Structure 1
């Protein structure tokens, strides 16, 4: 799921596929081009081949590589970070390259750092075409980059993450010790009832991380855990699906958990909302909407967008014997990008599993609270008269 919204709208605006009508600082979107014919669609499980599948899948219209992590210093000062790369195909077939600048792939990236102690949130975004090596992705060795923001393979288990903007900098070594977790049905993650409304999706969880975070010239040695999501698809949101809540959870017993909740306009959740539990030994348990209960305990209203987001939750999964309370490490982790506003930030978890105390960290993404998503990512043929 993740930030498909902000990426697609940014690219559409950038390349003239959407014409904005300015109204203060907001955009009204009209004449959206949503022709997805000619692209490959996720219609069932596929045969995964790693490390090849760490890289790009350009037959699909959209793809993203998503890194989020919770880190801390030896003294316990906490930080969160996000570095995300998005790829969008311009056309389903390769354009004729009449120059080094002409290409068929456009990239965008988001970079954020949450300084929990200082209660400061830093967010940045960039756009680039893949021509002349400005942005791109490779499979072997795996790498993805946009200008000097990059993820580069060091060896078969370790990647180096680098990003810097406005005196905010991360330099991290991320070590993966578990095999990729194939979300959904062997990586086939269904998001809606329409054929092809799905993605191919895997995660790398509980990745040991160490390195430096630099804030305004002050460098901090940090360590902790990073989560990676990689999805590729050619799909849209169903009409009436206004947004999603996505949870990643990395617990101190070595286990991990992902959940996504697709929210309908009537307040109900889509039946395709799903998740997966990963035990410390890598064994997985698929979860459906019937397997968990989530209650919102508190909310926060953004002083920037005026949107109101959940900020504290109670989560129960009886089949796992898991009961957790989750709370944002700090409330103001809202991104106001060029074309979309959403909340994505570091979250802490405390509770019990099988009657034993457990705690951990993770990330939560909340979309559709500032702007409902089906009006900009859904089936425009159904919405064209609105």
Structure 2
């Protein structure tokens, strides 16, 4: 009888579907689910219409459990700054990261801290409420209570690190130029070396002024506790002052000895010739477009760029064009009045009429390079 009924159902073309489980597979990486299912915040596909409060995530989905793939400070790391925080990167998105599952202690005594979790980077961060003590061992504990969205638990992990021993506030051990120096070359960078590693170096804490205010520059950092200020536009026979503020501190927060500090120096004559540091087209380039503009970048601010000092010629005949100079980029540009001829050799000439702002020429004669056009 059962067989006959089954056959009858088949002959009638009916389909009998097994009831669907309210809880389906995990959502895809793009948040997609099979038909009739929708992805929820826990990363599982739920049957559309199932109660929102229904929990049907199994105690594991067969995937490997999440792992810790990176930590800071590192295991057994020493000389950690007293203002450091703890960060943990997980191998996948996890749930349960909070102050009860990510903990910091010293000699078993808990350290008050705030714990954050960034879902975009699977990153847990523990920020102590107050600076850590110097020369102290701290223990970090992560888990239990953290799992991925399929309830695969992480294996608890512990490690320790030690904070730095304070050697006292940082001092300046060397600098160039020295205080009250005179005759300083206008291209000389300002260099400072400290007695220990420092933090807080920025345009607001390390800068140069003249009679008109702050002189913009670029800060470069070097090993062995050194910093340098470069790329400043300075003029001959001018007094400048470089400043260092109390925002410059060591890793334990001690400010620079004597800060705020100010040191003066006076420049001398400019005897350094400028150079060409980039050119378009480059020497011996080929297949150059016929509508190209010629550009030359110099090592310092320049004057004198004109149609008589930046020249484009073909077989000894100058090509008519317009020359512009852009001081913000130190670039001179020659734009021909008409498209160039195809498959033709051209020469670019830069003469001694182009100089820096104190009269040093870019060349004692003429700089020449060639290129060839395409179609």
Which protein shows a greater Rg?
A: 2
TM-score of the alignment, normalized to the shorter chain, above 0.5: no
Normalised by the size of structure 2, how large is the TM-score? 0.18
More helix by share: 1
Higher relative contact order (CA 8 A, sep 6+): 1
Structure with greater proportional strand content: 1
